[in-house]
Amino acid sequence: MNKDLNLLMTEQQNANTLHIDEMTTDDILKVINQEDQKVALAVEKELAAISRAVDAIYEKVSCGGRLIYIGAGTSGRLGVLDASECPPTYGVSPHLVQGIIAGGKTALQNAVEGAEDSEELAINDLKFIELNEHDVVCGLAASGRTPYVIAGLQYAQSINATTLSICCVDNGVISQYADFPIEVKVGPEVITGSTRMKAGTAQKMVLNMLSTTLMIKLGKVYGNLMVDVQPTNAKLKERAIGIVQRCTGVSKVEAQRLLESNHYDVKCAVLSQKTDLDYQKSHDLLLKYQNNIAKALKQYFKK
Which of 35, 46, 116, 189 is the catalytic position?
Answer: 116
3-state class percentages of the chain: helix first, strand second, coil last, to nearest 5? 55, 10, 35
Q: How far is CA 192 from CA 20, 76, 139, 227, 252, in A?
A: 11, 20, 23, 42, 52
Rounded to an integer, what distance in angstroms lies between the CA atom of residue 184 and that of residue 181? 10
Q: Which residues contact 238 (CB under 8 A, 6 or more apart)?
A: none
Neighbours of 238 (CB within 10 A): 13
**C-beta of residue 295 within 8 angstroms of C-beta of residue 289:** yes
Q: Which of 15, 27, 6, 5 is nearest to 190 (CA)?
A: 15
Q: Which of 142, 143, 165, 168 is nearest to 152 (CA)?
A: 165
Which of 85, 119, 238, 254 is the catalytic position?
Answer: 85
Q: How far is CA 54 from CA 49, 51, 65, 123, 262, in A?
A: 9, 5, 13, 24, 32
Give CA 175 to chain center in angstroms. 18
Give kind and range of the element (H or E) at residue 297. Answer: helix 293-300
Amino acid identity, residue 117?
D
Amino acid identity, residue 233?
N
Q: How many residues does the chain have?
A: 303
73: left (phi over 0), alpha (psi -120 to 50) or beta: left
Q: Would you call 85 a catalytic residue per the annotation?
A: yes
By annotation, the residues acting in catalysis are 85, 116
